[in-house]
Amino acid sequence: MLTLTLINILVVGLVVLLHYEVLLGLSRKLPYIHYKNKYQIVIGVFGALIAHCLEIWIFALGYYYMFKSENFGHLEGNFDGSLLDCAYYSFTSYTTLGFGDITPHGAIRFFTGIESLTGLVLITWTASFLFLEMQRFWNKH
């Protein structure tokens, strides 16, 4: 259980730090992008989407490690243990979509719960960030 807790802390810390750095970088760079009227927001959206995808892949690597080590339980259903299946499961967990075609068993369930909570917080953070950026740039031009 200690190893699972450390993995949770490491992965959540890494993705939150990544998200912070991406949003900070976007907030610093967007005012200097003068491509076309109001395209700063579009660039902000793409930047945030790229950040979310990277964060989801970080969680996918966590699932892959835990699945291969066999000490954390397993994922069953439409799942073959590949990194791509781990990424698919991570996308559905992070977004809280949860199709239900893959089911976690054992301690890996806690990692799934942490990912869903983290995804919810980071998606909300992104929405707030983009709202503020829209207020900043929308009526400037």
Residue spans per domain, the chain = 2-137
Among the CATH numbers 1.10.3210.10, 1.10.260.40, 3.60.150.10, 1.10.287.70, which is that of 2-137? 1.10.287.70
pLDDT reported for residue 135: 87
Here the tokens at position 122 are 């980071």
How far is C-alpha 138 from the geometric centre of its chain's CA atoms?
Answer: 27
Alpha-carbon distance of 43 to 30, in angstroms, equals 8
Element (H, E) at 76: strand 74-77
Alpha-carbon distance of 38 to 30, in angstroms, equals 10
Q: By the 8 A CB rule, do 141 and 34 touch?
A: no
pLDDT reported for residue 47: 97
pLDDT tens for each residue of the chain, 141 residues long: 899 999 999 999 999 999 999 999 999 998 887 766 568 888 999 999 999 999 999 999 999 999 999 899 999 999 999 999 999 999 999 999 999 999 999 999 999 999 999 999 999 999 999 999 888 877 665
Alpha-carbon distance of 90 to 59, in angstroms, equals 6
pLDDT reported for residue 109: 96
